[in-house]
Chain A
Amino acid sequence: MLGLNKTDSKFLLIVILLTLFTPFLMQPFAADSGLDQFNGGYPDLMQKVAIFGIFAVGFNILFGLTGYLSFGHAAFLGMGSYAAVWMFKLLTMNVIPAILLSMIVSGLLAVIIGYISLRRSGIYFSILTLAFAQMCYKMAYSVLTPITNGETGLQLSLSDPRILDGATESTSLPVTNIFGLAMNSSYKLEALNRVFTFNVGFYFCAIIASIAFYIAIRLFRSPFGMMLRAVKSNQQRMNYMGLNTKPYTLAAFVISGMYAGLAGGLLAAMDPLAGADRMLWTASGEVVIMTILGGAGTLMGPVLGAGVIKYLENIFSKINESVLHSWFHWLPDGLEEVVVWVFARFTGEGWHLTLGLTFMLVVTFLPGGLVEGIKRLKKLTKRGQKPKDKLDAPDPEHTPPPSKHVV
């Protein structure tokens, strides 16, 4: 299907189905079950998972394939957001031109940053990209204030020209839309004591994310992807094979920069406002953590990592002390205080602590990320199903791993 082999087609199909049914899947708990704060099926979170999924998939094209760890990808995310908001201000509230422009602008920025940063590799490359991103961040606050609107952030206003939309007499700000269908409109379905929300914005992001994911699979399986993995493996051999590695790494850098720009544009399309905060180094660090948590170099890993982190961020930060008190009210008074105090460190404001612990555990025990964890679980269940003769059992050290990419 679509130029993919059987396994990849099946894989893509599963991913598409999962995205389409996200509103159901993220709403597993009934409203009165007491666990409904763990439900993540509201538009804001679902959109973020899809958008940051795109961001991480793009980042993985650079980091997972070539091994170049960029610490400045947030610059492209922020740049994409600014470009998209400017499109909303000047041209139209339709999101299509906005995200196209954000991809082009971040792509151009990636050419410049990449051309200079890729002269070095390893830690020097990481520091260079970090420096560039921080420069963009500082410039957004200082010299570029006419474009970025400084600390307030770039916002829509009623006096914006919006050439294609024409003048309206409305006194409220227009909303982003796709050919008239507003991004923030939702259809709610009440069933099984749950409220399922089908949001236009989410489905728009989901479709874009599926396309982005499909392109990523093609890239991974193409000769170009093979070359990028070769760059990660042995640059010297590439050179002595008559291959200049620079065009390959630069192409990967620009592609992943465009993915980041697309994600930034979508963020602005969901909520038309752009601030310099999106370019801060913590945002760059977040995508690194997403990719490594999920499994760098794998297809599904970054998406999984983005989902887990955005879920933790939104759900754990909502659990405050009063919620904890309602959970532990059955404990004796003194003990309840202690337990609530301990749990409060890990929830609400302290959700980063939970994230940090999760990250630490995953990196220590599952170097390949969550994807490796899933693979191990699969192996365990398979082993449980049909116990084999000891001699039949595959010896991992002497069995060649099946090739995923050729023949």
Chain B
Amino acid sequence: MGILEVKGVGKRFGGLQALGDVNLSVQVNTVHAIIGPNGAGKSTLLNCLVGKLIPDTGSVTFDGKSVLGRKPHEINQMGISRVFQTPEIFGDLTVMENVLIPCFAKRDGAFRMHAYESIEQEPDIVNKAEQMLIDVNMIEKRHMTGSSLSRGDKRRLEMAMCLAQDPRLLLLDEPTAGMARADTNNTIDLLKQIKEERDITMAIIEHDMHVVFSLADRITVLAQGTPLVEDTPDNIKGHPKVKEAYLGETQEV
């Protein structure tokens, strides 16, 4: 029984069957990659997991509890954090404030006014936010505003924001899309480090095979809305069906 169980999930947009009967089981403390060609339904699946979309059929349970019908903030409070394909950060706020907000939100996310205290009066929270920035190597940029960061930095910041919540499941939507090779390698190192240091489960959607094969413990291949195979990276590499559907017959991995 995995921490995240997806059973028979289907989603239809008008005449397009985006997802049809997807079954997925993500085990605790593993990195599970979901790969597939464009239009395979990877992002739709992710949107169904975080409450952005509600699937037409099937069930999604996290830690034994159904996530369907819950609002995004409620699903997040269950312990699921998501890193977006285009970094979603607070552009008008400084890097430090960006990380302070999830630190203040804490796990339960309940509304608290905090209107009569200043931020400096919460040394625990400030220290935690600083530690997060040190972890992703951005502490020297803490006074910059979010929108002035480079794309790679934005993504690292978003990662820090998600990690500040101590999530149990981290969903990553193409964490290296549009990055140079060096940045990609940095991101891989960062993710490896996170995996080693924390009890965290990760689900990654990725195009870059280099990233997938250096990180993943399990890989699910999605094609046209249905899972083709689910196996370990070594087995996936040589799998003829995968080659045919995704990598192309002549391409060697």
Contacts and interface: CB of A to CB of B under 8 A. Distances in A.
| Chain A CB within 10 A, most for which of B77, B81, B101 | B101
A241 B105 contact: yes
B116 A406 contact: no
Contacts of B109: 241-244
B145 A234 contact: no
Given A237-B90, A239-B73, A242-B76, A223 B119 contact: yes
Of B71, B88, B90, which is in contact with the most chain A CB atoms at under 10 Å from its CB?
B90
Contacts of A234: 88-91
A301 B113 CA distance: 25
Interface in A207-257: 218-219, 221-227, 229-230, 232-234, 236-244, 247-248, 251
Contacts of B141: 400
Given A236-B88, A247-B111, A248-B111, A241 B94 contact: no
Contact of A227 (B74, B92, B104): B104
Interface string B87-108: 0111111101100111011010
A349 B7 CA distance: 72
Contacts, number: 134
B111 A244 contact: yes
A158 B126 CA distance: 60
B124 interface: no
Nearest to A244: B73
Contacts of B94: 403, 405-406
A240 B77 contact: no
A239 B88 CA distance: 11
Contacts of B252: none
Contacts of B165: 241-242
B196 interface: no
A228 B103 CA distance: 15
A218 B117 CA distance: 8
A5 interface: yes
Contacts of B92: 229, 232-233
A227 B145 CA distance: 15
A402 interface: yes
Interface string B112-134: 01111111101000100000000
Contacts of B73: 238-244
A241 B101 contact: yes
A224 B119 CA distance: 9
Given A402-B143, A407-B96, A407-B126, A233 B105 contact: no
A218 B105 contact: no
A4 B120 CA distance: 10
Nearest to A406: B96
B106 to A, nearest CB: 8
Which among A4, A233, A402 has the greatest number of chain B C-beta atoms within 10 A? A233
Interface string A76-113: 00000000000000000000000000000000000000
B24 interface: no
B109 to A, nearest CB: 4
Task: Please indicate which of the listed interface residues B91, B96, B105 has the most CB atoms of chain A within 10 Å of its own CB.
Answer: B105
Interface of B: 50, 71-74, 76-77, 81-82, 84, 88-94, 96-97, 100-102, 104-105, 107, 109, 111, 113-120, 122, 126, 141-146, 148, 161, 165
Given A226-B93, A232-B92, 7 more contacts: A218-B115, A224-B113, A227-B114, A229-B97, A239-B76, A242-B107, A406-B126
The list of the 9 closest CB pairs from A to B, nearest first, reads: A242-B109, A242-B76, A247-B111, A223-B114, A400-B144, A233-B90, A224-B115, A233-B92, A239-B72
30 contacts: A3-B116, A3-B117, A218-B116, A222-B114, A222-B115, A222-B116, A223-B104, A223-B122, A232-B92, A233-B91, A233-B93, A239-B71, A239-B72, A239-B73, A240-B73, A240-B76, A241-B81, A241-B102, A241-B105, A242-B102, A242-B109, A244-B73, A244-B109, A400-B141, A401-B145, A403-B96, A405-B94, A406-B100, A406-B120, A406-B126
